[in-house]
Amino acid sequence: MGPYLQTNKVRFLIKNIYYLFLYLFACNLFSQSLRLDSFTNNINENELKNLVYVYSSDFFKGRETGKLGQKRAVKFISEFYESINIKEANGTENYFQKMELNISGNIIQTENVVAVIEGSEKSNEYIIISSHLDHEGEKNGQIYNGADDNASGTIGVLKVAESFQNAVLSGYRPKRSIVFLHLTGEEKGLLGSKFYTDNPLYPLENTMVNLNIDMIGRIDPKHKNNLERYIYLIGTNLLSSELHEVSESTNKNTTKLYLDYKYNDIDQSECIYYRSDHFHFVKNNIPAIFYFNGIHQDYHKPTDTAEKIEYGLLKDRIKLIFFTAWELANRSKSIKVDKNVDYSELINCRRYLKLYNL
């Protein structure tokens, strides 16, 4: 009887230690989830509203590339990074990647703004989170403030950066390096992103993915009359199956937005795939996701103003981008390119082949 009881006792202890381990493991995962969400406390409607109202105010004069308003914009962005102690990117001068652009025969002095959080384990692998900082400027005495296009994306990148910095300060530095890239000259023909990919501050061959944010603050006519919390995703599966899978699973486990793939087509009639800065990364075989809310009645008009932004939805969209970037930054293996994009049979978007030298 003694040995039998002892054996049963050992089995009992082993069994319960196993269940205790599973319980503690689940608790650890839960606590990690809580911590991750706590990093995004700064992504809230009040802060977003304050920042969008400032960045799309008349003070920035529509942020036309090379003009006074754009110079004020890059100063605003660089000072934000400095205020939260995120360092300037290698090769920049006070966060500025300076350049000369030929715009309609005029040589324009302008700059991208670039900041970086270095990774803890794979610091030579890079995730670039981008948005364009410019807009249309002033026309016929009216200021084109560009609240959605692209104050929403600019503030989105700043808030994602702040969330990563919150994680760093809490002892959770991402494994890979995160580059926060604010691009000039987008409205003039994706010029800032072309300059960056022609003159990269970090090797393109070590750049795992680009998450590009352009217009994420509004609701388009397709979704206006329903209750969907949505975002358009463009490019997710065109170069990498893994990127699409990470994007889908992250959304399912976090923000649970409706992911609309209407524009995820290289020959879609409006050619949205070619019309934002992610495309110069895709050209260089770097997988990318373009986050977008669709075209609305105020697109490229002086009526694109801050009071029309859907701040609750903007908050959820920015959180999705942070959670996706976090997952990409901390996964054990890099995202792999396992597809090619064939542009040979384009019909609707053939004009972009010449524009981008494809």
pLDDT, tens digit only, all 358 positions of the chain: 344 344 454 454 444 444 444 444 334 433 445 478 899 999 999 999 999 999 999 999 999 999 999 999 999 999 999 999 999 999 999 999 999 999 999 999 999 999 999 999 999 999 999 999 999 999 999 999 999 999 999 999 999 999 999 999 999 999 999 999 999 999 999 999 999 999 999 999 999 999 999 999 999 999 987 777 999 999 999 999 999 999 999 999 999 999 999 999 999 999 999 999 999 999 999 999 999 999 999 999 999 999 999 999 999 999 999 999 999 999 999 999 999 999 999 999 999 988 888 7
Give 179's DSSP letter. Answer: E
Cβ atoms of 271 and 348 within 8 Å: the answer is yes
Residue 25 region by backbone torsions, left for phi larger than 0, else alpha for psi between -120 and 50, else beta: alpha
Residue 228's pLDDT is what? 79
Query: Distance between CA atoms of 225 and 352, rounded to whole angstroms?
Result: 33
- DSSP lists the bridge partners of residue 88 as 115
Residue 27's pLDDT is what? 40
Peptide linkage before 150 cis (omega within 30 of 0): yes
Residues 54/38/310/223 CA torsion (nearest 10 deg): 150
39-355, CATH topology level: Aminopeptidase (3.40.630)
Angle 168-235-310 from CA coordinates, rounded to 5°:
65
Place of tokens 């807009």: 135
- The type of residue at 227 is L
* Residue 203 burial class via C-beta count within 10 angstroms: exposed 0-12, middle 13-18, buried 19 and up: exposed
Q: What residues have CB less than 8 Å from 57, skipping those under 6 apart?
A: 145, 306
* Residue 184 burial class via C-beta count within 10 angstroms: exposed 0-12, middle 13-18, buried 19 and up: buried
Residue 11's pLDDT is what? 52
- Two tokens at 61? 């004069």
Q: What backbone torsions phi and psi does residue 51 show, to the nearest 5 degrees? A: -70, -40
